[in-house]
Amino acid sequence: MITNERSWSLVGPRYRQPGLNVPELNKFALIQESVRKDVQDDRQLTQEQLCARATALQAQNMELEAFTHMVAHDLKDPLTALIVTSDLITDIPDLSGQEMKEYLQQIKATAYEMNRIINNLLLFAEVSKADAPVGPFKMAAVVTKVRDRLSYLIKEYQAQIELPESWPDAIGYAPWIEEVWANFISNAIKHGGKPPHVELGGLIQPDGMARFWIRDNGPGIPPKTQARLFKPFSQVTHVRNPGHGLGLSIVLQIVEKMGGKVGVESESGEGSLFFFTLPACRSSRQKNLPLTLSVLKPETTSPA
């Protein structure tokens, strides 16, 4: 910092020059004080930036730790099922043809589950970094693709799916919204009633957003569990959400990135309703869409 003596040594000769008066010297001192304050402000700003960066890094580390625990749990269960089923086939020499078929079907279903988890991991990495090309899309086409993807699960659980006669069209990125429905529908089938009865629907809200939902006939979700279902990884405790794992965290990121919201409504013994919102297309906002449901019954197959 420049001292007053040094300041005078620098400006004193000029002050003795004709035409230089005291007010000009005072002005020089004010400029000097302003420069000193700017330097202090810059130093403080740099410290604040460093603190903010450290806080962000700590949050990322917490998120990575929670993410690792969640992935480990999600992969451990199907891997254990594969090992046990393989051991049974190997250790029991006189398996009947029907028993062998059932074990092979179990291995196939487990492989599908592990493939779903891996796809979720890849999707999470993509959603975290990428900016999606958002635009209008047909929700009916997206739901149809998801039903085709999950046909094996629908057959296995003999699930009954109800769809609306019409869907509101929305604005978003269809491939990512397909993953939202895949997570919601698979959870509703696995954790619904026996057999599962799943209802899908959509409508336009007064605020111009399209609201989409899925309702199951399961046992419901306790309030404490509801509160943490959609938490970001940095806020997830090591107590995992049974059966939901990685999927709902991805759903949260996708929907928020598309400008919407997610949520759940549930009461004990009354099933659960999961929903998400997206900006609605202008054409859908101008329509009064009917909400009559058409029942799609599962194909009849022999029990797996």
| Cα 33 off chain centre by | 51
SS3 label, residue 145: helix
| End-to-end CA separation in angstroms for the chain | 82
In terms of CATH, what superfamily is 135-304? Histidine kinase-like ATPase, C-terminal domain (3.30.565.10)
pLDDT single digits (tens) 43-68? 666 777 778 777 777 766 766 666 66
Domain boundaries of the chain, sorted by first residue: 4-60, 135-304
- Per cent of the chain over pLDDT 90 is 27
pLDDT-based confidence at 209, cuts 50/70/90? very high
Quote the tokens at residue 146. Answer: 């998801």
Give the integer Cα–Cα distance in Å for 250 and 240: 15
Give the integer Cα–Cα distance in Å for 191 and 178: 20
Give the integer Cα–Cα distance in Å for 263 and 251: 10
pLDDT single digits (tens) 31-41? 666 667 766 66
- 294 DSSP 8-state letter: E
Residue in the block written with tokens 């009954």: 160
- 135 DSSP 8-state letter: E
State the DSSP H helix or E strand holding residue 171, giving kind and residue range, or none if neither. Answer: strand 170-172
pLDDT single digits (tens) 126-185? 776 767 788 999 999 999 999 998 998 899 899 999 999 999 989 999 989 998 999 899
Residue in the block written with tokens 């005078």: 8
Long-range contact pairs involving 24-30 (C-beta distance under 8 Å, separation at least 24): none
pTM: 0.62
The type of residue at 60 is Q
